[in-house]
């Protein structure tokens, strides 16, 4: 038999290849540009010193700490609620009006622009609950923002667990909770972790929701009740108010490196988890 050539095949291959190359080139350009501009700014002092003179001088240590605090609070609060809701939707509740309602709410939440979350957080946490501008207010607001992502990715991961695992676990005399905890959760964990990684990335990169709730103070936060400024907000203010483009690029580069590190570490953990079972 002889190989036949189709014009369509060749065209499709070229188009698909071109799409992939275009996307990769674009990404590579953005990242290279930021790193070239920003990396020279990053040194030990940049990482460890507090910003001085509005950020023209000094480092960004307080913004790094603030970012990590806000992100940690958001993920710590949203994770149990998100995963709990996902298990409720997929394991405890038959498909019906209630599940559709919850899913509809979660999807609506996902579509709300982050600045609206910021406004809500400002009114509810900062003013009504009198938490003031603080890492806590910011973290709580971001928790609301990432909740839909965590619910949806977790639910998908749980639904992807083969039904036979549940049958097996029940057939060995496990109760419902034992089945979820010992048979379903371990196989859903890599998928759930993926959702969490996405959420961490969104928290680190968020500006609009944070600027209204955590504030934009340059001091080193002393507790979760202190106002603080996240790296993304710092970058935004430095750039938009033309305070220091150099330090803005430095911050942006560090932001990218941070997200990159988190992705690598999280992927290693997820792969470790996945390998234990299959």
Q: Rule CB under 8 A: which of 236-275 touch other proteins? A: 275
Contact present, 84 and 103 (Cβ < 8 Å): no
Contacts to other proteins from residues 168-187, by CB under 8 A: 168-175, 178, 182-183, 186-187
Buried/exposed code over 140-178 (b: 16+ C-beta within 10 A; e: otherwise): bbbbbbbbbbbbbbbbbbbeebeeebbeebeeeebeeee
User: Residue 222 corresponds to which tokens in the numbers above?
Assistant: 């002393």
Considering only 16, 20, 23, 164, the residue that binds other proteins (CB under 8 A) is 164
* CA–CA dist 87, 156 (Å, integer): 10
Tokens of 234: 């710092």
Site for other proteins in 60-99 (CB under 8 A): 94
CA neighbours within 13 Å on the CB side: how many for 10? 4
Minimum CB separation of residue 150 from other proteins in Å reads 22
Which residue, 80 or 272, is less far from other proteins as judged by CB?
Answer: 272
By the 8 A CB rule, do 205 and 142 touch? no
Of the chain, the end-to-end C-alpha distance in Å amounts to: 41
Gyration radius from the chain CA atoms? 23
Provide, rounded to whole angstroms, the least separation between the CB of residue 272 and other proteins. 13
Does position 165 bind other proteins by CB under 8 A? yes
CA dihedral 173, 176, 181, 187 (to 10 degrees): 90
Task: Name the segment binding other proteins (CB under 8 A); options: 84-92, 135-143, 159-167, 193-201.
Answer: 159-167
Q: Is 62 exposed, middle or buried (0-12, 13-18, 19+ CB in 10 A)?
A: buried
* Choice between 8 and 163, CB closer to other proteins: 163
CB of 161 to other proteins, least distance (A): 9
Closest distance of CB 154 from other proteins, Å = 17
Q: How far is the CB of 83 from other proteins (least distance, A)?
A: 18
Q: Least separation, in Å, of the C-beta of 115 and other proteins?
A: 42
- The smaller minimum CB distance to other proteins, of residues 13 and 182, is found at 182
Applying CB under 8 A, the site for other proteins has a residue count of 22
Going residue by residue from 182 to 221, which x/- string records binding to other proteins, judged by CB under 8 A?
xx--xx----------------------------------
State the residues that interact with other proteins by CB under 8 A.
94, 164-175, 178, 182-183, 186-187, 275-278
């Amino acid at each position: 038999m002889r190989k036949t050539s189709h014009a369509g095949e060749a065209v499709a291959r070229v188009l698909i290849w071109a799409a992939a190359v275009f996307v990769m080139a674009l990404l590579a350009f953005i990242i290279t540009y930021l790193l070239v501009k920003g990396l020279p700014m990053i040194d030990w002092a940049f990482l460890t010193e507090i910003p001085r003179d509005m950020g023209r001088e000094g480092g960004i240590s307080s913004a790094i700490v603030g970012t990590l605090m806000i992100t940690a609070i958001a993920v710590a609060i949203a994770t149990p609620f998100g995963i709990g809701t996902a298990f409720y939707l997929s394991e405890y509740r038959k498909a019906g009006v209630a599940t559709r309602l919850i899913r509809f709410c979660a999807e609506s939440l996902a579509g709300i622009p982050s600045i609206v979350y910021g406004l809500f957080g400002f009114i509810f946490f900062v003013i009504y609950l009198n938490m003031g501008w603080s890492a806590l207010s910011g973290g709580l607001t971001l928790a609301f923002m990432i909740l839909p992502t965590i619910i949806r990715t977790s639910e998908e991961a749980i639904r992807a667990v083969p039904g036979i695992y549940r049958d097996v676990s029940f057939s060995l005399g496990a109760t419902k909770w034992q089945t979820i905890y010992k048979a379903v959760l371990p196989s859903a964990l890599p998928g759930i972790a993926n959702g969490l990684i996405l959420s961490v990335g969104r928290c680190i990169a968020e500006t609009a929701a944070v600027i209204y709730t955590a504030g934009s103070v340059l001091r080193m936060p002393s507790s979760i009740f202190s106002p603080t400024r996240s790296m993304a907000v710092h970058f935004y203010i430095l750039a938009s108010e033309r305070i220091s483009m150099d330090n803005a690029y430095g911050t942006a580069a560090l932001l990218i490196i941070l997200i990159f590190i988190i992705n690598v570490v999280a992927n290693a953990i997820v792969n470790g988890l996945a390998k234990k079972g299959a």
